[in-house]
Amino acid sequence: MAGSDSPKSLIHVNAEFLQSASRTEECPAMHVPEYAFIGRSNVGKSSLINMLANHQGLAKISGKPGKTQLINLFKMDEGVWSLVDLPGYGYARVSKVQRETFSKMISHYLRNRANLVNVFVLIDGRHEPQEIDLDFLRSLGQWGIPFSLVFTKLDKISSSAFGKNQAAMKRKLLKEWENLPPMFLSSATSGLGRAEIIRYIREVNEEVGPAMAEQLRK
């Protein structure tokens, strides 16, 4: 688990919108580690991405759930790594056909994107564990995809109430998993978690980046 010693951390991150795609095949071939961000609708994903990049207009924010409907790619730190904003799961306000389309697009990307190294799954920290989140984590486990959890909106809940929700999530996970995934606490409003998430990404980059670049170029 990671918190934040300095929520308003000024760690510099260079971010640039690269491309939107409706299919994995349309995504540009990249030789750097890629990190996908996903969560159920209205979990605060766009706000978190903008907070990480320190760029409030990078990911489009909407009060209407389901706004993100494409695979949105961003070049980070001058191309050292890439960030992917995926459509949320849940889609309460879209048609059944759209839900199926989004689900197929997401699963195909996750299972076939060669340079994907980690999926950040956003969890609304205000609520007890939701079955829809647990089902998605099970899918990642079945597909063998590494993931981390990011608890969002922690400025909107007391520490004691969140502590109970996080403990409940840990208990749920340990019933099915041998080890807990990395966990981060966040608030797009205060900047909580920004430094920890960026540092984690950069540490993983150092571990896998050079070998991945060489392998993908073959």
**Burial group, residue 13, by CB count within 10 angstroms (0-12, 13-18, 19+):** middle
SS3 at position 128: coil
SS3 at position 55: coil
Q: Is the pLDDT of residue 135 over 90?
A: yes
**CA nearest 187: which of 37, 43, 35, 10?**
43
Higher pLDDT, 54 or 83: 83
Dist. CA 138–CA 1, nearest whole Å: 20
Measure the CA angle with vertex 89, ends 32 and 153; round to 5°.
85
202's enclosing H/E stretch is helix 194-217
CATH code that applies to domain 15-217:
3.40.50.300
Q: Is the pLDDT of residue 194 over 90?
A: yes
pTM of the full structure: 0.90
pLDDT at 95: 67
pLDDT at 78: 92
SS3 at position 63: coil
Query: Please, are residues 19 and 69 in contact by the beta-carbon 8 Å criterion?
Result: no
Locate all alpha helices (DSSP H) within 54-181, ordered by sequence.
96-112, 131-143, 159-174
Q: List the domain boundaries for the chain.
A: 15-217
pLDDT at 54: 87
What's the whole-number mean pLDDT along residues 35-40?
A: 96
Query: Please, are residues 43 and 152 in contact by the beta-carbon 8 Å criterion?
Result: yes
Task: Summarize pLDDT for 87-125 with one digit per residue, the tens.
Answer: 888 765 666 777 788 889 999 999 999 999 999 999 999
Task: Summarize pLDDT for 172-192 with one digit per residue, the tens.
Answer: 999 999 999 999 999 999 999
Dist. CA 139–CA 142, nearest whole Å: 5
Query: Please, are residues 34 and 82 in contact by the beta-carbon 8 Å criterion?
Result: yes
